[in-house]
């Protein structure tokens, strides 16, 4: 499986003292939570938030090309995971929890093929028990090198704050 960059956008962050609203204007704009964490909450120049220590990226599959932190890079990258059934990519946010309203993905720059089609976008408060926030079946929105798409989450189903987010691939 080759994978993509993950960006949570247009979301509300609960930081211990206050809520912050991120307004989505387009795929991979500079208004998403991962970009904000990469700028150390708008205080510094952008650095990948995993490298900055504001998030942790893990995967159940090894990288064939690139590094795990490339999966959440703001800039398009060449990052592919080894094909494996039920691969999970998890992003743990440090010090913030999020009530997501949208999320964006970008397909790798490495190839036009093997775009995600069947997966679940999930959230968790503790990193152990995950709930489905959006399920995709034969979704063809990502259709080539570097293509992006943003999905809007149903507020009737997604009404809680999470610290862990996961892409769980199924039936590839």
**What is the count of structural domains for the chain?**
1
Give me the CATH number covering residue 48. 2.60.120.260
The whole-number pLDDT of residue 171 equals: 66
CA distance 52 to 106: 21
Question: In the predicted model, is pLDDT for residue 92 greater than 50?
Answer: yes
Average pLDDT over residues 12-25: 68
Q: What is the pLDDT of residue 17?
A: 52
Paired tokens of 38: 């990469």
**Which residue range(s) make up the domain with 9?**
5-169
Please determine, for residue 38, whether its predicted confidence score (pLDDT) is greater than 80. yes
pTM, 2 dp: 0.85
User: What does 120-158 look like in DSSP terms, one character per residue?
Assistant: EEEEESSSSSEEEEEEESS--S--STT-EEEEE--TTT-
| Percent of the residues in the chain that have a pLDDT greater than 90, as a whole number | 44
Give pLDDT, residue 62. 76
For the stretch 113-168, pLDDT in tens is 787 888 899 999 999 999 999 999 998 888 888 888 999 999 999 989 999 999 89
Please, are residues 105 and 117 in contact by the beta-carbon 8 Å criterion? no
Strands 130-136 vs 102-106: parallel, antiparallel or unpaired: unpaired
* Residue showing tokens 């009404």: 159
pLDDT reported for residue 105: 85
């Amino acid at each position: 499986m080759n994978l993509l960059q993950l960006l949570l956008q247009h979301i509300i962050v609960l930081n211990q003292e206050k809520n912050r609203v991120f307004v989505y204007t387009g795929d991979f704009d500079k208004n998403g939570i991962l970009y904000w964490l990469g700028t150390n909450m708008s205080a510094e120049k952008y650095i990948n938030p995993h490298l900055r220590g504001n998030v942790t990226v893990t995967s159940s599959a090894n990288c064939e090309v690139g590094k795990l932190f490339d999966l959440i890079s703001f800039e398009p990258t060449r990052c592919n995971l080894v094909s494996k059934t039920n691969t999970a990519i998890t992003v743990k946010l440090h010090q913030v929890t999020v009530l997501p309203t949208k999320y964006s993905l970008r397909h790798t720059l490495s190839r036009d093929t093997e775009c995600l089609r069947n997966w679940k976008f999930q959230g968790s408060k503790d990193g152990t028990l995950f709930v489905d926030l959006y399920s995709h079946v034969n979704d063809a929105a990502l259709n080539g090198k570097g293509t992006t798409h943003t999905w809007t989450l149903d507020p009737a189903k997604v009404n809680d704050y999470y610290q862990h987010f996961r892409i769980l691939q199924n039936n590839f």
